[in-house]
Amino acid sequence: MQDAVESLVARICGREATDALPRTLTFLAAHQVMSLRLSDAQLMRRLGWDRLTPQRIDQLLDLIAITLRAQLAALTPSTP
């Protein structure tokens, strides 16, 4: 799975899949999702939530997607 995502990120960034940039970006995105799961109790206390609901999970994933899109946009070669 990670290889497939790295290949996709590499294409978006105009890099080779074996380049450090797509590998690192893929790693960081995966760990954003994993860190939410590992520290969900702390996050819920911080947000004042008593539990995770499907809507709240979607909200958190939307936020991760925003940051990932921004990272990809910053790394995407501009077209003339």
DSSP code at position 51: S
pLDDT at 76: 79
pLDDT at 79: 59
pLDDT at 61: 86
Residues of the chain scoring pLDDT < 70: 79-80
Token pair recorded at residue 8: 């996709």
CA distances from residue 49 to 33, 39, 45, 53, 76 in whole angstroms, order as listed: 18, 13, 6, 10, 36
pLDDT at 3: 87
pLDDT at 55: 95
Question: Among positive and negative, which fits the CA dihedral 61, 66, 69, 74?
Answer: negative
Could you tell me which residues come within 8 angstroms of residue 80 by beta carbon, excluding any fewer than 6 positions away?
A: none
pLDDT at 40: 83
